[in-house]
Structure 1
Amino acid sequence: MKSWGKWAAAAMMLAGAGTAMAQEVELRGKRTGDFMIGFGAVGVLPTNGGNVSLIGGTPQASNAASPLLDGTYFFTPNIALNLIAATTRHKLTVTNSALGTVNLGTVWALPPTLTLQYHLMPQSRISPYVGVGLNTTFFYGYGGNPSAPVNRVRVDATVGVAPNIGVDYEIAPNWLLNLDAKWILMQPDASVNSGLIRAQANINPFVISAAVRYRF
């Protein structure tokens, strides 16, 4: 029986060594020319602020979430370009105004962001990165039930920078998990009732996402 125990222990050690070697082989790392497509979910969390003419107060945009699609291309194992695409619906209000809280209805935001990233450990299974992006946000699809006498709200498209941090985790040679955070610095101009009231909305949202990525 002792002999069988020794053989079983040796077999388990060999199996463990084989598994470790297999894991080493399976770790592919990032390479020049890699292209990854990701699908997941994103949360947009405005920090809010700004100013409003005539009635005073602070413009506010609500938190929102949506599906996310992104693509990443690697010029080198360390340097990549990432583009995200998502659209979220936000409730707009003005708080602490001369009229109290004013409901401005809802609007959809489309914020494509192109980010240059530096991947610090491209050959590791856990691969963090930092970057900076250029964001352009478009607003469309106005709706909801704004407070009277609000009958027209418009938010101008805006351009801003987006500091970025994130991490990839390689679960298989062609599959990765991704966690990503951006801070999009945007201060769009807005108008109510064809310009009767104007505002600068310092939205500056944190954009937090989780995605599964496939590498071609």
Structure 2
Amino acid sequence: MKQIVKLLGCALLASASAGVMAQEAGSIMVKAGYAYFDPNVTSGNLSAPSLPNTKINVGAAGTILLTGTYMFTDNIAVEVYGGIPLKHDIYGAGSIQGTGVLGTVKQLPPTAFLQYHFMGANEAFRPYLGLGVSYVHFQGETGSAVLTAITNPGGAPTTFQVKDTWGATPQMGFTAWFNKQWYVDASVNKSYVKTTTTLSTGQSASAKLNPMVTQFSLGYKF
């Protein structure tokens, strides 16, 4: 949050005298930057046979973010997020907290937002609100020796699969323009997603991931 405040201050100073037609109807904009995903996990219990209160947690990760935006009117826009898949560590929680990394998984959450940009198209600084739909695709699931020791001691290595899922993603952010083409953008999103992980040993566990996503980007308008 402190980083957002600092960037907001710099953007306000840089854009104070811009006063250009920056985001009028018909504008097509692209941006690239960095996004940080910080899951807020609420895990269910791993199904039997397992220790009571066996849960999971998911570590934070960052990635390169690529975004395209189209302004339908001076205030209403559609924005699409993409980028490079993120790699998350999965940890034990509950009765197996502190056992270490259970595995890793990659995820790619393309998201489409409907946005409302406040103030006029000729304003250099414009806050916005958005509501998006995310499709979270999981891939590259890899279990660790710790996972096997907990779920199948002495047996074959335990593998797992995480189910793809949909979720709602509210958003708030701002754009600040340096001139008619270049701008900076920052936003905070909160995705509400729930998925299920199934082990090769037959157990499964559901979890709400609900990551907070903070992104900073440099953009260009065509």
Alignment TM-score, normalising by the size of structure 2: 0.81
Match of 2:29 in 1: 36
CA distance in 2, matches of 1:97, 1:50: 12
Match of 1:14 in 2: none
Match of 1:96 in 2: 94
CA distance in 2, matches of 1:140, 1:102: 21
List alignment gaps of at least 5 residues for structure 2: 1-16, 152-157
> Does the aligned pair in 2 maintain the 1:115–1:132 contact within 8 Å?
yes
How far 1:123 sits from its partner (Å)? 2.9
Match of 2:116 in 1: 118
Match of 1:127 in 2: 126
Tell me which of 176, 182, 201 is aligned to 1:175.
182
> Does the aligned pair in 2 maintain the 1:34–1:73 contact within 8 Å?
yes
Are residues 213 and 143 of structure 1, via their aligned partners in 2, closer, same or farther at CA, if it must alter by over 3 Å? Answer: same
RMSD, aligned CA: 1.8
How far 1:36 sits from its partner (Å)? 0.5
Alignment TM-score, normalising by the size of structure 1: 0.83
Give, as a single letter, the amino acid of the residue that structure 2 aligns with 1:47.
N
- Per-residue CA deviation, residues 44-90 of structure 1 (Å, 9 max, x unaligned), is 00011121223323321100001110000010010000111122100
> Does the aligned pair in 1 maintain the 2:126–2:174 contact within 8 Å?
yes
How far 1:96 sits from its partner (Å)? 1.8
How far 1:191 sits from its partner (Å)? 1.0
CA distance in 2, matches of 1:127, 1:99: 44
Match of 1:45 in 2: 38
Aligned counterparts, 1:1-216, within 5 A? 23=17, 27-52=20-45, 53-54=47-48, 55=51, 56-86=53-83, 87-97=85-95, 101=99, 103-121=101-119, 122-143=121-142, 145-147=144-146, 148-149=148-149, 151-194=158-201, 196-216=202-222
Give, as a single letter, the amino acid of the residue that structure 2 aligns with 1:67.
I
CA distance in 1, matches of 2:96, 2:87: 27
> Does the aligned pair in 2 maintain the 1:35–1:71 contact within 8 Å?
yes
CA distance in 1, matches of 2:94, 2:175: 42
> Does the aligned pair in 1 maintain the 2:104–2:141 contact within 8 Å?
yes
Give, as a single letter, the amino acid of the residue that structure 2 aligns with 1:126.
F
CA distance in 2, matches of 1:75, 1:98: 51
Matched position secondary structure for 2:192: coil
> Does the aligned pair in 1 maintain the 2:28–2:68 contact within 8 Å?
yes
CA distance in 2, matches of 1:70, 1:174: 16
Matched position secondary structure for 1:101: coil
CA distance in 1, matches of 2:143, 2:205: 19
Query: Which protein is bigger by CA-based radius of gyration?
Result: 1
> Does the aligned pair in 1 maintain the 2:56–2:94 contact within 8 Å?
no
Out of 156-165 and 27-36, give the one that drifted further.
27-36
> Does the aligned pair in 2 maintain the 1:125–1:169 contact within 8 Å?
yes
Are residues 28 and 98 of structure 1, via their aligned partners in 2, closer, same or farther at CA, if it must alter by over 3 Å? Answer: closer
Are residues 63 and 146 of structure 1, via their aligned partners in 2, closer, same or farther at CA, if it must alter by over 3 Å? Answer: farther
